[in-house]
Amino acid sequence: MAKYIFVTGGVTSSLGKGIIAASLAKLLQARGLRVTIQKLDPYINVDPGTLNPYEHGECFVTEDGAETDLDLGHYERFLNIFTSQANNVTTGRIYQTVINREREGAYLGKTVQVIPHITDEIKRRILAIGETGEYDIVLTEIGGTVGDIEGLPFIEAVRQLQWEMPEEDCLVVHLTLIPYLKAANELKTKPTQHSVKLMSENGIHPDIIVCRTERPLNADLKKKIAQFCNVKTEAVIEAMDASSIYRVPIKMLQENLDLIVLKKLQINGYAAPELTKWKEFLEKLKHPTSKINIGLIGKYIELQDAYKSILESFVHAGAMNECKVQIVNIHSEYITDENVSEKLGGLDGLLVAPGFGMRGVEGKIIAVKYARENQLPFFGICLGMQMAVIEYARNVMGLKDAHSTEMDADTKNPVIDLMEEQKKVTVKGGTMRLGAYPCTLKEGTLAYKIYGHSPISERHRHRWEFNNKYLEQFENAGMIASGKNPATGLVEVVELPNHPFFIGVQYHPELKSTVENPQPIFVNFIKAAKEFAEQRSKAKTAVLQNETIS
Ligand code: GLN
């Protein structure tokens, strides 16, 4: 039977509940336990797939094609496991299930209510993961902050589970903030006391309090929090701001968070934490031997969460190459033919990001042209790959009006077109081509060299595709399709053999990069960017030497 850990948050949002949950899960996994994490989101959307990235950051797609909260990305990157639809549940999905059941007649004669019907459905979704028998521990992170009206049914479900289960089968970790007041030169515990009080009013008593803080908590302060919040002093955990999210598990290990959990859950016979690979990664992250600038061209660059998985993939691949990857965020809307060399001139590599809709696409196309003509390593993801195809059609093949029908429904040259199966789709939620599909790579290509085998499997989220009617024309002109879906022939990878590193992928490789398994395209892209940077600095030195001689 699985044991359950609930992670709640108080005082304010954005405390990094997902990172704390993932760090605790990592430590338990490192001690030999089988662990997974689930996120319960209190909003009414059935999933975050229809949300603008400005609202909710990136939408993370799982192997089974679920569009989920970006915290699932952290869970996968930390634990090196796959999550699934069952790992992310929203209020919308809970209500949808209950309402559908009501219509089917499942509750005939009964009034359907928040308690017990909604709470029962929440509990069912929590327990279902544990009942698979695949895990020793299921961590469930409750989104939002205690006290939010929309979170109440989730908190009530946790209360009921805590009451129903043997004491050693579940525990509650509460994450709060200990603010530092500069004027008083003091850390303040009152907001935490209030937050725990609010939890108690809802019938939940946290077993462990994790305190986010800018400054260390001394023993007196820990004791005070413990006393007022009615937990053991050892169960007050300091979570100081860290230089990297990947250091948080180590900090939690130093605070004995995992041992306190194991004790409460009465789990014996666990191993010493096996974190060799994790620590090697941290060492490399701390001591890079080189530095490069990668341009990230997108339209949501004001909000870093919009490209979370891409940014984290660069952290993994950078460490593997012992290279510090500096991301230069460039807004695609403001790139023009006139300013492109000024904006992209200092870069060692260019990544054109995924996206939807018209805004900023012309800037992306101009950026691709610059990378192609200047031998700058280029990596296009999803819409980024589609833009590379359009750029090649327009500027190399002479199809001046080439476009995607997503942006120009009447183009004479729809080199990117709506997938056949999408043409009858009218409903927006969960209807894209989603999740993992196989892809066959052509031997001798850059893609094959990068992965080292074929077929591969990567995750998707799109409606448009490369228009195969143009494939021969493209290949004759020098852009080849090096990866295809074996069943449908859908072009998954394009590349330019006469360029040092130019690759566009229809899928989202960033969704599968983890600390222990950096994604190979990212790893090789960094390698190519490093070479580009070295050549550039050699060329610069040569120019300087020549100038000195003359
Ligand atoms: N808008 C494009 C499509 O739907 C690309 C999607 C994406 O970048 N995820 O095909």
Say what the pLDDT of residue 12 is: 85
Say what the pLDDT of residue 456 is: 98
What's the whole-number average pLDDT of the chain? Answer: 95
What residues are annotated to the active site?
Answer: 382, 508, 510
Within 16-151, where are the H helices?
17-30, 53-56, 71-79, 91-104, 119-131
Give me the sheet containing 456-462, strands edge to edge.
323-331, 290-298, 349-352, 378-381, 502-505, 491-495, 480-484, 433-441, 456-462
Task: Please name the residues in contact with 27: beta carbons below 8 A apart, sequence gap of 6 or more.
Answer: 249, 252, 253, 257, 258, 273
Give the predicted TM-score (pTM) of the model. Answer: 0.95
Residue 461: CB within 6 Å of ligand 1? yes
Say what the pLDDT of residue 541 is: 83
d(CA 372, CA 415): 18
Please tell me the distance between residue 504's alpha carbon and the centre of ligand 1 in angstroms.
13
319 token code pair: 């460490």
Say what the pLDDT of residue 550 is: 64
Pocket test for ligand 1, best of 416, 463, 506 (most atoms within 8 A of CB): 463
CB 509: neighbour CB atoms within 10 A?
24
Evaluate the CA torsion angle 97, 98, 99, 103 in order and state its sign.
positive
Q: Where are the beta strands (DSSP E) in 150-213?
A: 170-177, 180-181, 186-187, 208-213
Say what the pLDDT of residue 546 is: 79
Task: Please name the residues in contact with 301: beta carbons below 8 A apart, sequence gap of 6 or more.
Answer: 307, 329, 330, 331
Give Cα 468 to chain centroid, integer Å: 31
Helix (H, G, I), strand (E, B) or coil at 456: strand
Helix (H, G, I), strand (E, B) or coil at 395: helix
Site of tokens 């280029």 = 378
Q: Which atom of ligand 1 is nearest to the CA of 465?
A: 10
pLDDT digits (tens, 9 = 90+) for 15-67: 999 999 999 999 999 999 999 999 999 999 998 998 888 888 899 999 999 99
d(CA 475, CA 62): 32
d(CA 17, CA 270): 25
Cα three-residue angle 176-233-153, rounded to 5 degrees: 40
534 token code pair: 């070295």
Please list the ranges in the chain whose pLDDT falls under 70: 550
d(CA 32, CA 271): 6
Residue 284: CB within 6 Å of ligand 1? no
Which DSSP helix (H) or strand (E) runs through 544? helix 520-549
Residue ID of nearest Cα to ligand 1 atom 5? 383
Q: Which atom of ligand 1 is nearest to the CA of 406?
A: 1
Residue 463: CB within 6 Å of ligand 1? yes
